[in-house]
Structure 1
Amino acid sequence: MARWLWLSLAVLVLDQITKVLALGWLTPYLPYPVIPNFNLTLMFNEGAAFSVLADAGGWQRWGLSAFAAGMSLVLAVWLTRLGSGERLLAVSLALIIGGAVGNLIDRVLYGHVIDFVQVYLPVIPLALFNPWPAFNIADSAISVGVMLLLFASFRADGTARTSSARD
C-alpha cells in the first residue's frame, strides 16, 4: 500500500504551492474577501491546532516538529503494512501524512505554520470561533484524513462485531 504515498506527495506539493502564493500575494492579517463568509487572510501559527501552545516560549517549534516527524514515520510504516483491501484506511493515512509533513516543513523553515484560509460560520454563536481559525491545505488534509480514519475504524469495528456474532 506504499503506492498511496503519491497522495501524500500531492497534498504536500499543493500545500506548499498555495502557501508560497499566499506569502507572495497576501498582506499579513489583512482579510481579502472572496465570497460571503470566506476570506483569504495570511496568518502565522506558532502553536498547534487552534493556536494551542502558540505562547509556549519557543520550544513548541521543535517539539511539534519532532512530534510531526515521528507520527509521519509511524503512519508511513502503518501504511506500507496495509492489505490491498484497506483502501479507505490507506487514503486516510496518506492524507494525514501529507498534511503533517506540509506543516512540518513550515515549522522547520519559518518557525511557524502559514495559514491563509478563513471561514465565517454564521450558524455558530459569535463567541465560538467566528471567524473560524485560519487554516491551510495541510490542515484540511489532516482533518479529512482523521475523519476517514475514524469512519474506517468504526466500519471495521462493526464488521468485526457482525462476523463474530455469526460464529
Structure 2
Amino acid sequence: MPEEGSVSLSASSCVRTRAGAFALALVVFVLDQWSKVYFNGHYQYGEVRPVIDGFFNFTLLYNPGAAFSFLADAGGWQRHFFTVLAFAVSGWLAWHIVKGRFSALMNWAGGLIIGGAIGNVVDRLIHGHVIDFIQLYYRDWYYPAFNLADAAICLGAVLMVIDSFKQPAGGRPEE
C-alpha cells in the first residue's frame, strides 16, 4: 500500500504535467503569433532572405490551405473547414489532458498541437490565410514554406507516434 505522501506527490506531479501541457500550448501560440507579426511587418510578400546559404531562407508567403498548401486553391471553403477541424482536435486533446487520460509524453504532444493549431486558426480568422516564413531547400528542391505553429504540430505528431509505441497492449498510459 503506497504511503499517503507518495500518492500526493504522484497526483501533484500529474497535475504539473497537465498544467505544463497547457503552458507549452500558450508558449507555442505566443511565439508563433509574435514571429508572424514580425515577418508580416518586416518582409514584403515573396521576399527571400538567405540565412544559411544552400539550405535555409526566411521568406514571407501566405497559405490559404493547410500544411504544404493542401487545398490552397479550393475556393475558400477550406478556411472554415480547417478552422473547425483545428478547434475540434484542440478541444478533444484538451479534454483528454484535463481528464488525465494521456501519458506525460502525450500531454506534451497535445500541448504542442493545441498551441500550433490555435496559432494557425488565428491567422485564418484575421487574415484569411496562414503566414509562413521558414523555407528549407537544397539546390533546386524546396520544402514547402512553414511557420512555428506548423513545426510544433509536426513535433507533437511525432511525439504521439513515439508515445504509441510506449503504451501497453490495452492502450492506457502506464502509471
Measured against the shorter chain, the TM-score band is 0.7 to 0.9
- CA–CA distance in structure 1, aligned partners of residues 155 and 127 of structure 2: 25
Residue identity opposite 2:84 in structure 1: A
Unpaired segments of 5 or more residues in structure 2?
1-14, 171-175
Q: 2:79 aligns with which of 57, 61, 82?
A: 61
Q: 2:39 aligns with which of 19, 22, 45?
A: 22
- CA–CA distance in structure 2, aligned partners of residues 121 and 90 of structure 1: 35
The question of 1:152 aligning with 2:163 is answered yes
Unpaired segments of 5 or more residues in structure 1?
162-167
- CA–CA distance in structure 2, aligned partners of residues 53 and 148 of structure 1: 26
The question of 1:140 aligning with 2:151 is answered yes
SS at match of 1:62: helix
Residue identity opposite 2:159 in structure 1: L
So what's the TM-score if we normalise by structure 1? 0.86
Structure 2 match to 1:107? 124
- CA–CA distance in structure 1, aligned partners of residues 85 and 32 of structure 2: 19
Q: Which moved more, 1:61-70 or 1:15-24?
A: 61-70
How many residues align structurally?
Answer: 152
- What is the 5 A alignment of 1:64-79? 64-79=82-97
- CA–CA distance in structure 2, aligned partners of residues 100 and 81 of structure 1: 20
Structure 2 match to 1:40? 58
Q: 2:133 aligns with which of 116, 128, 131?
A: 116
Deviation for aligned residue 1:7: 0.3
The question of 1:88 aligning with 2:105 is answered yes
**Cα deviations by residue, 1:61-93 (Å, 9 ceiling, x for unpaired):** 11111111111111110111226x821111001
Residue identity opposite 2:47 in structure 1: L
Tell me which structure has the larger Cα radius of gyration: 2
What is the percent sequence identity of the aligned residues? Answer: 45
Structure 1 runs, 4 residues or longer, greater than 3 Å off: none
Residue identity opposite 1:144 in structure 2: L
Cα RMSD after superposing both structures:
1.5
Deviation for aligned residue 1:20: 0.3
Deviation for aligned residue 1:121: 3.8
SS at match of 1:120: strand
SS at match of 1:160: coil
